[in-house]
Amino acid sequence: MDLQDYLDMKAEDIDKSLFRTYGTVTGELDRASAHLLLAGGKRLRPAVVMLAADAIGKGRSRDVMPAALALEVTHTFTLIHDDIMDGDEARRGVATVHAQWDQATAILAGDVLYAQAFELLCKSDAGDLEKVRAVVMLARTCAEICQGQHMDIAFASRQDVTEIEYIDMVSKKTGALYAAAASIGGILAGGNAVQTKALFDWGLNSGIAFQIQDDLIDLVASAETSGKDRASDLREGKQTLIAIKAREHGVDLAGYRKETLTDAEINAAIVALEGAGVLDEVHEAAARRVHVARKSLANLPESEARQHLSEITEYFVSRGF
């Protein structure tokens, strides 16, 4: 089975499980909590949980389905709260939770999902010690996600953010949840310390590559391709790796920080960044993370699941174009 067929199959499995759990809720807060969960999505993080489990032992993905759901629920809780902070009105083709209900309900809906993630995690078919280790991993990850989000917010008022600081931020905000998905799948499947560390390192570096690619997609890809407002990071003056490298190379992006940008202005910024070698350096930074992620997989036995994990890393840095 090729990677896309696998991801489509697992996304369908996850969607069915989510609908069984959340599709018939009736209370207003429960409906708000389920709103984004039932709106679809790529379901990459739960797929990673299941692939990691199968990379430890073929067929173990069946045992960790509740953990896979837990990671999707965790991801959705962060999206609900991010949408509140960013003031976004739509996600996944539907109104955001705070837009559909109100801010207070959205905060509580996210909190409900946060709590339910740990309950789901403990329903996996695994030993008690492995469940405790998985709970500790998810708890630590949720704290890191919050730290990463706060760093991202703090960067908005600075123009001296370094590449090291940026990598630290995306490690927490994006990389940590992929690292948790992979390592939790491995832990619950009975992986040893070397194997679960390898899965953690794979997830962390793949997640960093994912975020760097997101920065590039935001600037270079069309709105139709990316599904996002083109060059929003440029307009907002966000401290992405592109902005950091631009500053290092003397490319002034201050003039692009305004409410609207024409396609001609965006294209002019791209030409300037390409001419200075900025975009090439950003591509190379993502490629280095891909190399490290794939190298870590060598500590796992050869299998179709391991191959799919490697292919996911490549997908992360090739999507959106």
98 domain-assigned: yes
What type of residue sits at position 32? Answer: A
Identify whether the C-beta of residue 96 lies closer than 8 Å to the C-beta of residue 164.
no
Number of structural domains in the chain: 1
321 domain-assigned: no
215 domain-assigned: yes
Domain harbouring 227, CATH code: 1.10.600.10
Range of the domain at 51: 3-316
Question: For 11-62, how does the pLDDT look when each residue is reduced to its tens digit (9 = 90+)?
Answer: 999 999 999 999 999 999 999 999 999 998 889 999 999 999 999 999 999 9
* Cα–Cα dist 281/168, whole Å: 18
44 domain-assigned: yes
Q: What mean pLDDT comes out for the span 127-133?
A: 97
* Cα–Cα dist 3/147, whole Å: 32
257 domain-assigned: yes
Beta carbons within 10 angstroms of residue 310's beta carbon: 17
Q: Identify the pLDDT of residue 33.
A: 97
Q: Identify the pLDDT of residue 112.
A: 97
Task: Residue 71: name the closest of 128, 131, 142 by CA.
Answer: 142
The predicted model scores a pTM of: 0.92
Residues 6 or more apart whose Cβ sits within 8 Å of residue 34: 22, 23, 25
Question: For 256-314, how does the pLDDT look when each residue is reduced to its tens digit (9 = 90+)?
Answer: 998 888 999 999 999 999 999 999 999 999 999 999 999 999 999 999 999 999 999 98
Crossing angle of the two packed helices 163-170 and 193-220, in degrees rounded to 10: 110
* Cα–Cα dist 214/212, whole Å: 5
The angle at the Cα of 94, spanning 91 to 95, to the nearest 5 degrees, equals 80
Q: Identify the pLDDT of residue 75.
A: 96
Q: Identify the pLDDT of residue 315.
A: 86
Indicate if the pLDDT at residue 100 is higher than 60: yes
Indicate if the pLDDT at residue 228 is higher than 70: no
Q: What mean pLDDT comes out for the span 219-234?
A: 73
Question: For 153-176, how does the pLDDT look when each residue is reduced to its tens digit (9 = 90+)?
Answer: 999 888 899 999 999 999 999 999
Would the CA dihedral through 45, 240, 234, 148 be positive or negative?
Answer: positive
